[in-house]
Amino acid sequence: MTPAASTSPLDRDTVQRLVAEVIRRIQAEATAAPPAAHASPAAAPAASSYGAPEPKAAAATLTARVITLHAVERLPAGTRQVVVDARAVITPSARDYAKEAGISIVRGAAAGSPLSAAPPRPFLIAHAQGGTDPAVKAAAIARAVPGSQQLPSSGLADVITAIATHASRDAARGILLTSRPAVATILANRSASLRAVTGRDAASLSAVAADCQANLLIVDPKAFTGSLERLCTDFASRPAAPPPSELATAPTGCGCKSH
């Protein structure tokens, strides 16, 4: 009876039910498959988001006209290269920190006119005379010249050495307030990185500085007439230019080792 039952026409219904059940299960599995499929793409973004910060942190851009230590310290972790403007000034402390941290500083193309019009070099303010007057005048100049830097007051020789170091590293310009401007000018001009001039009024000092492309003004604030703040603002923003041909070569026969 069993073989006869297996060949009975009723088996067709059974087969149809089985086929229908198989199809239903396949469809059910197909419907349930997307969550599993979504899990894979979800994992992929996670992997990509894990790797994404590194390319972003590997290179950074600083648009400031003066790159300071504070700016370099605030770069994202993992930064290996920072692009700065072609005419940006990099302070020695920022350069040293970048070197120790393995960060290369690359100069890009010059930025637009607002940055190009900004002072291309740092401006230093120093005074080598004790008392309140030079310190007060130095503070007033610092407020007038954006991005200027005040050096600690010290002896005449020491402060000139500090200015010369900045000038050789960052092509800095500056002003030195002292009661002995003649001595300070001679001492400063012994350094190969300094071209110092002195004067008693703003107009003549500005003209002399432009004539020899000086990078250091030396002034006795008590004997000076005119606005030191305006003088320094104009001096700091003056476009860079090569010195006169007579000053382009080191002097001969002076016996000075700094040349």
| CATH code of the domain containing 172 | 3.40.1400.10
Asked if residue 104 and residue 210 are part of one domain, the reply reads: no
Asked if residue 167 and residue 84 are part of one domain, the reply reads: no
Asked if residue 133 and residue 81 are part of one domain, the reply reads: no
Count of all residues that appear for the chain in the document? 259
Asked if residue 183 and residue 76 are part of one domain, the reply reads: no
Asked if residue 63 and residue 136 are part of one domain, the reply reads: no
Asked if residue 149 and residue 110 are part of one domain, the reply reads: no
Asked if residue 235 and residue 173 are part of one domain, the reply reads: yes
Domain end point (choices 71, 99, 115): 115
Per-residue burial over 150-162, b = 16 or more CB atoms within 10 Å of its CB, e = otherwise: bbebeebeebbeb
- Dump pLDDT digits (tens) for 129-175: 655 578 889 999 999 998 899 998 889 999 999 999 999 888 899 99
Q: Is the pLDDT of residue 119 over 50?
A: no
Name which residue leads in pLDDT, 79 or 243.
79
Name which residue leads in pLDDT, 2 or 186.
186
**Residue 194 covered by a domain:** yes
Asked if residue 163 and residue 98 are part of one domain, the reply reads: no
Asked if residue 218 and residue 154 are part of one domain, the reply reads: yes
Rounded-to-5 percentages of helix, strand, coil across the chain: 50, 15, 35
Q: Is the pLDDT of residue 38 over 80?
A: no
The helix/strand/coil state of 25 is: helix
C-alpha distances in Å from residue 242, one per residue of 24, 145, 206, 246, 259: 88, 23, 17, 11, 18
Domain end point (choices 115, 138, 168): 115
Asked if residue 226 and residue 163 are part of one domain, the reply reads: yes
Confidence of residue 53 (pLDDT cuts 50, 70, 90): very low
Asked if residue 124 and residue 241 are part of one domain, the reply reads: yes
Q: Which domain holds residue 70?
A: 54-115
**Residue 74 covered by a domain:** yes
**Residue 234 covered by a domain:** yes
Name the domain count of the chain: 2
Which pLDDT value is given to residue 157? 94
Name which residue leads in pLDDT, 17 or 151.
151
Which pLDDT value is given to residue 243? 80
Question: Which pair of structure tokens corresponds to residue 117?
Answer: 């019009």
pTM over 0.85: no
**Residue 36 covered by a domain:** no
**Residue 213 covered by a domain:** yes
**Residue 4 covered by a domain:** no
**Residue 1 covered by a domain:** no
**Residue 193 covered by a domain:** yes
DSSP lists the bridge partners of residue 82 as 60, 105
Three-state SS sequence of 193-236? CCCEEECCEHHHHHHHHHHHCCCEEEECCCCCECCHHHHHHHHH
**Distance between CA atoms of 139 and 229, rounded to whole angstroms?**
10
Q: Beta 216-219 vs 173-177: how paired, if at all? A: parallel
Nearest to 167 by CA among 235, 70, 91, 105: 91
Asked if residue 124 and residue 237 are part of one domain, the reply reads: yes
Kindly tell me the burial class for residue 85, based on how many C-beta atoms sit within 10 Å of its own C-beta (0-12, 13-18, 19 or more): buried
Question: Which pair of structure tokens corresponds to residue 81?
Answer: 């290269």
**Distance between CA atoms of 77 and 80, rounded to whole angstroms?**
9
Question: Which pair of structure tokens corresponds to residue 192?
Answer: 């190969």
